[in-house]
Amino acid sequence: MDTPEKATQIATPLSKFEDSPVFNYINSLSPIKPVKSIPITQTFNSLNFSSLPSIFTSPHVIAHRETRFLKRNNCSDPSKAGSCSENGNKVCTDDGVAMDASQLYDNSAQLQENFDTGVSIEEDSVEPSSDSKFVIELPRALKYDCGSPGCSSTPCSVIEANYVSEQAGTSASVVPFVEKDSENGSFEDEVHLQGASQIGQKKEEVGCDWESLISDAQDLLIFHYPNESEAFKGLIQKSMDPGARFCTSLVTQFSQNDLSGEPELQMVDSVGCSQQHEMMEGRSAQPGETSELKEINEIEDNLANDDLNNCLTGNPSEDVGDEVGVCVQDAFKRVPTLHRGMLRRCLDFERVARRKNLNDGSNCSSIILQSNDKIASEDNQLVPLIPNSDSPRCILPGIGLHLNALTLASQDNKNFKLEIFSRQLSFPTSTASIHSPESGQEPVQESLTSAAAEGDMVPVDDGVPLAEDASQTSSYLVGEESNLNSPKKKRRRMELAGESESACKRCNCKKSKCLKLYCECFAAGVYCIEPCSCQDCFNKPIHEDTVLATRKQIESRNPLAFAPKVIRNSDSVPEHGLPLQDESSKTPASARHKRGCNCKKSSCLKKYCECYQGGVGCSINCRCEGCKNTFGRKDGSAIIETEAEQEEEESEMCEKSGVDPILQRTEISNNEEQNPGSALPTTPLQFSRPLVQLPFSSKFKPPRSLLSIGSSNAFYTGLNYGKPSILRSQPKFEKRLQTAPEEEMPEILRGNSSPGSGVKTVSPNSKRVSPPNNVLGSSPSRRSGRKLILQSIPSFPSLTPQH
DNA sequence: GAGTTTGAAACT
DNA sequence: CAGTTTCAAACTC
């Protein structure tokens, strides 16, 4: 449905757009004329698209944001992607209409990321309906015009056109956004009307774009990170594709505060402009979302900045894209050059490799290519790539950072955020969408959230255990921020602070050389830093090659080794649209440990238990004994966590009171069993969780691309999901679920040892296993499990259709 | 801070 | 795949 409609839509929007005086004006300005995108993009978009949503949704609460990030990133990415990978060509080649979406898409891997970003953006613009699109485009044009004077409208226009086409292609994929877009559309319309006069708004928009850019830039930074400032510089200045430059410039601006703030970057003009345009487009495309994304990006940026500051006083590399910075400068000024810190910690080993590649050729492209290579092995991987790219930076750092930033965000950051928000606020719907973090913006967020109401809004579960993501992110922050002397203290502090504590990963390895998963830093995909008490540490940039090689080895053994251990459902749920579940998703229970724990003595009540440590409940995948995980017991399938949790709690209560825990457990197990099976299918959440886990846990290896990504654990999961089709990320889930569990589900539920068994119920809990069989048929007494199951079965199909 | 416990990771 | 060993975090004192 997407493609055809998109095409038509695109055409309409364009036509409309063209009709608009603004468009005409832009056209006059820009030498290049807008080219309609190629259908091919759609495929990418679709792919990316679907993947993104699913990915984001499921893994972590943050995932939503991430997804948005991705989207945002997409927006920005497009520019980046364009600049970086092929995009670089695009962006750079303003002249040559580098914009070719097709080119961008050409690189599948690149496409994934790019697509994701681009798609989301495009989708927004396109999907929203011709009107929305139309509106979006116009704003873009305006933005471009206003935003980058030097760049002149022309590039922008071209870009826009390209985007439009692309968007059209992608639009289908991003269904969800469409609605928003539609909303935005009205808003945008206004913008258009105001258009010319709205330069100030443009700035704001630009700021948003910048934000997106920044986020992108962060990504870039991350990529470059290994190289550190030099890498940045090199990437930015040298190879930097326009897009990359753009991003980098943004980043640098952030980092450096731009303070100098001079719009030096004329070089960027064409390119930069194009990038900006792209960025702008991204924004324009998704006014609301973009704004959100921007906010997120900003947050990330802030976080990154903070982190960087904390971690490194290091200098960001040089600023390249001052131009962009100029517009954005205001907002970004605050951002110091924290990137480095981020970079340090965030190491994406892969990225490092990418950087190398990038250095060789086009930075971005090379990076993408690498990822692609890895990913290439697996079709879906492309999608993963995106996540990966994001994940490392965005997810781990980004997300965590965001969260942290929100909470920790310096006043400056807050101000910046506030500004952004205010700006966004100007945009009715779009602004609402903004997720911004909690920090100062809460009020706004609330309003926004109410408006958006979606998972995205659901900010992160900072408080609770986001599991790795959060931990990682936090870790980064923490690591940088708190350079506590003793790791233990630090850790404890972290713990005290919250789960994020885990984020700061400081290792104390003595024999592993920090090259094994024993090392938390290595496992998290970050380099060891001073705070670490490790001995003979090889997990340092100096030993980058060794680290990468080791990482590859480990990944070869277990592609998911570096994937996030905890998978969150929340994202997926929202998409599906189950409200209740959404909430449940918020709960820790919603998330599940990828592999599950194997606790025998800790009762899953101590940090020995990875599930507990990750702040998630135990799942079917767990083989723990005497599980008392307060976040959710095994049986309590994540699915209906809320209920399950309640039940669990009740059971616990009973236990405490003297009731047989075992009995309860059995019940629970039944539920779990039921849930597992049901969970997958039934509610989005349910299935999302199980799905997520199942695929990985059960299948495990699927997603290699993710692996390649490495650090991007969270993303990883998302990636997997993402692969499928654009919209279908969920569907994919379903498919996967279906493929794995789902199809089996019925049997499993009924006959198979356990639904979970499908996945893994496995031996440990033979107890549970037996019940499952009965579960469906037999008893089901209470449990929501049945309901879930029943629902689940039907729901599965229904879910897809809904989409 | 040292020692113990614990469970994941790695190895066989 | 199962069992054992290694390892480092988590925990206790």
Contact between A118 and A388 (Cβ < 8 Å): no
Contact between A702 and A696 (Cβ < 8 Å): yes
Contact between A343 and A374 (Cβ < 8 Å): no
Q: How many Å apart are CA A652 and CA A661, to the nearest integer?
A: 7
SS3 category, A643 = helix
Condensed to tens digits (0 to 9), the pLDDT of residues A325-340 reads: 333 344 333 433 334 4
Condensed to tens digits (0 to 9), the pLDDT of residues A580-626 reads: 333 333 444 456 777 788 898 888 888 898 888 888 888 888 888 88
Nearest to A50 by CA among A106, A7, A13, A2: A2
Q: Within chain A, which residues score under 70 in pLDDT?
A: 1-505, 567-591, 635-803
Q: Which of A157-194 are b and which e, b meaning 16 or more Cβ less than 10 Å from the residue's Cβ?
A: bbbbbbbbbbbbbbbbbbbbbbbbbbbbbbbbbbbbee
Contact between A351 and A226 (Cβ < 8 Å): yes
Helix/strand/coil percent split, chain A, to 5: 70, 0, 30
Nucleotide nearest to A596 (CA to C1'): B8
Phi then psi for residue A567, to 5 deg, are: -110, 135
The share of chain A scoring above pLDDT 70, in percent, equals 13
In sequence order, which residues have a C-beta less than 8 Å from that of residue A103 and are 6 or more positions away?
Answer: A86, A87, A89, A90
Distance A803 CA to B8 C1' (A): 39
Give the CB-side neighbour count of residue A747, counting CA atoms within 13 A: 11
Nearest to A398 by CA among A359, A448, A318, A342: A342
Nucleotide nearest to A510 (CA to C1'): C8
Q: Which of A229-252 are b and which e, b meaning 16 or more Cβ less than 10 Å from the residue's Cβ?
A: bebbbbbbbebbbbbbbbbbbbbb
Q: Looking at residue A129, what is its pLDDT? A: 39
Q: A592: which DSSP letter?
A: E
Condensed to tens digits (0 to 9), the pLDDT of residues A639-649 reads: 334 444 444 44
DSSP-assigned states of every residue in A677-710: IIITTSSHHHHHHHHHHIIIIII----HHHHHH-
Contact between A99 and A158 (Cβ < 8 Å): yes
In sequence order, which residues have a C-beta less than 8 Å from that of residue A437 and are 6 or more positions away?
Answer: A295, A296, A299, A402, A403, A405, A406, A407, A409, A417, A445, A459, A460
Q: How far is CA A613 from CA A28, A397, A502, A520, A586, in A?
A: 59, 19, 8, 13, 17
Condensed to tens digits (0 to 9), the pLDDT of residues A371-425 reads: 333 333 333 333 333 333 333 333 333 333 323 333 333 333 434 333 333 333 3
The answer to whether A605 CB is within 7 Å of strand B is no
Which nucleotides of strand B are protein-proximal, with an atom < 7 A from a CB? 1, 5-10
Q: Which ranges of A148-286 does DSSP label H, i.e. alpha helix?
A: 153-171, 175-194, 199-224, 228-233, 242-256, 268-285
Distance A15 CA to C12 C1' (A): 73
State which residue has its Cα closest to the C1' atom of C9: A608
Q: A397: which DSSP letter?
A: I
Nucleotide nearest to A502 (CA to C1'): C9
The answer to whether A489 CB is within 7 Å of strand C is no
Q: Looking at residue A234, what is its pLDDT? A: 37
Contact between A353 and A708 (Cβ < 8 Å): no
The answer to whether A492 CB is within 7 Å of strand C is no
* Count of other CB atoms within 10 angstroms of residue A122: 44
Distance A557 CA to C2 C1' (A): 18
